[in-house]
Amino acid sequence: ETGVTQTPRHLVMGMTNKKSLKCEQHLGHNAMYWYKQSAKKPLELMFVYSLEERVENNSVPSRFSPECPNSSHLFLHLHTLQPEDSALYLCASSQEPSGRGWGYEQFFGPGTRLTVL
């Protein structure tokens, strides 16, 4: 595997389900990100992990719960989602010299297309 991988690529879930999205980066980077991309809207930064510590949480509803067990893996746990949460969820990674969490180019995974019924 190379680059940034995400699983699953497609997910359909009901509002009462619990599911998790997985991201793995094979680039040796020290920062990882979750983004949400909805139609006609800019990429929305959800969470940033730098050196495995969460450094950014952009007022994301608590039904989204991130987990970063190590610098190569990032999860997004989902529960009791709403239909408006249907979107493309993108994971990205970057190498930040200061561990601050932004500034250098980010490499994206292929995304998970989530549909909430």
Instruction: Tell whether residue 104 is a contact of other proteins (CB under 8 A).
Output: yes
Q: How far is the CB of 65 from other proteins (least distance, A)?
A: 21
Among 21, 30, 66, 111, binds other proteins (CB under 8 A): 111
86 near other proteins, rule: CB under 8 A: no
- Does residue number 34 form part of the binding site for other proteins (CB under 8 A)? no
Which residues lie closer than 8 Å to 116 by C-beta, 6 or more apart? 13, 14, 15, 81, 82, 83, 84, 85, 86
15: left (phi over 0), alpha (psi -120 to 50) or beta: alpha
Q: Which two tokens stand for residue 50?
A: 């730098």
Which residues here bind other proteins, judged by CB under 8 A? 33, 40-43, 45, 56, 90, 102-111
